[in-house]
């Protein structure tokens, strides 16, 4: 009688993501907003599924992510949780849901109870106290630097961040502070490729890029962007993987393979 070998994919955890960074294996991330797409993404072996507040723009048809509420994020988190078995499930903390330690703990706790395994929040060193409080209460945190969509009005639009030498040095400092505060993961959005490479090499935690060049530890894109389903919104750093793929599942597979092989992003999808 032969022994049965379990070939099912292992559950992705904070620890296994760290191991991937250390081994140089690229981390694949993608957004999802419902159970059906989440199941397809999970079946493709994507490592991290993000319930992004980007749903405000790609699902709700809003101009920014700012109006998205905690209750809406909870609803979509519950849907996505039903479709995810393998990937690490990360949920965005929406605008003004983490202005104090008390509000951050309350809202992050609700997301964790809804199935999240990590929460993501925007902001630099000013968020170190919030990050520390969440981590100290057993809630893993993904930090987010560079272009921060929740601060779009403050920064004057969707612009690349960190091009000036002083801004680049400041971002590196903030990345160090957030890591020291206990962040387990970091997203860099719309950051010059050279700066993203420097931050990725300096930090011990995994760094996930979106419009931040090929040298980050992994990549994330909005699902609708890889399917060419964001009319008028297709950003420079995205690619339509559905074109020529034949199916949504094949497009997700193609995206995952392109990230793992280092073919995505190319120089065309990066910033100097």
Average pLDDT over residues 1-26: 81
The chain-wide mean pLDDT, for the chain, equals 95
pLDDT for position 5: 41
Type and span of the H or E element at 195: helix 193-202
Which CATH number is associated with domain 14-269?
3.20.20.60
Q: Where are the domains of the chain?
A: 14-269
Q: CA 32 to CA 100: how far, in whole Å?
A: 28
pLDDT in tens, 151-200: 999 999 999 999 999 999 999 999 999 999 999 999 999 999 999 999 99
pLDDT in tens, 238-260: 999 999 999 999 999 999 999 99
Quote the tokens at residue 62: 């809003």
Residue 145, strand partner residues: 188
Average pLDDT over residues 195-210: 98
Q: How far is CA 207 from CA 120, 232, 253, in A?
A: 13, 28, 22
Question: Residues 6 or more apart from 109 whose CB is under 8 A from it?
Answer: 137, 139
Q: CA 107 to CA 182: how far, in whole Å?
A: 18
pLDDT in tens, 22-72: 999 999 999 999 999 999 999 999 999 999 999 999 999 999 999 999 999
C-beta of residue 37 within 8 angstroms of C-beta of residue 77: no
Residues marked as catalytic:
189
Pairing of strands 88-92, 207-210: unpaired
């Amino acid at each position: 009688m032969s022994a049965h070998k379990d070939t099912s994919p292992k559950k992705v955890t904070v620890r296994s993501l760290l191991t991937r960074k250390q081994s140089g294996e690229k981390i694949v991330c993608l957004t999802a907003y419902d159970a059906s797409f989440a199941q397809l993404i999970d079946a493709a072996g994507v490592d991290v599924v993000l319930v992004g507040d980007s749903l405000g723009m790609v699902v709700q048809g809003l101009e920014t992510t700012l109006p998205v509420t905690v209750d809406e994020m909870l609803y979509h988190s519950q849907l996505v949780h039903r479709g995810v078995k393998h990937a690490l499930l990360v949920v965005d903390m929406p605008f003004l849901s983490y202005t104090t330690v008390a509000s951050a703990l309350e809202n992050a706790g609700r997301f964790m109870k809804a199935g999240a395994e990590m929460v993501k929040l925007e902001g630099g060193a000013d968020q170190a106290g919030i990050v520390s409080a969440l981590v100290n209460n057993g809630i893993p945190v993904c930090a987010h630097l560079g272009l921060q969509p929740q601060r779009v009005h403050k920064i004057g639009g969707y612009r690349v961040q960190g091009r000036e030498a002083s801004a680049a040095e400041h971002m590196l400092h903030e990345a160090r502070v957030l890591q020291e505060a206990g962040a387990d993961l970091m997203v860099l959005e719309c950051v010059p490729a050279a700066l993203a490479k420097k931050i990725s090499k300096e930090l011990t935690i995994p760094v996930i890029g979106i419009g931040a060049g090929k040298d980050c530890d992994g990549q994330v894109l909005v699902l609708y962007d890889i399917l060419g389903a964001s009319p008028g919104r297709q950003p420079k750093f995205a690619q339509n993987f559905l074109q020529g793929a034949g199916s949504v599942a094949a497009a997700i597979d193609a995206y995952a393979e392109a990230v793992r092989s280092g073919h995505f992003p190319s120089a065309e999808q990066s910033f100097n």
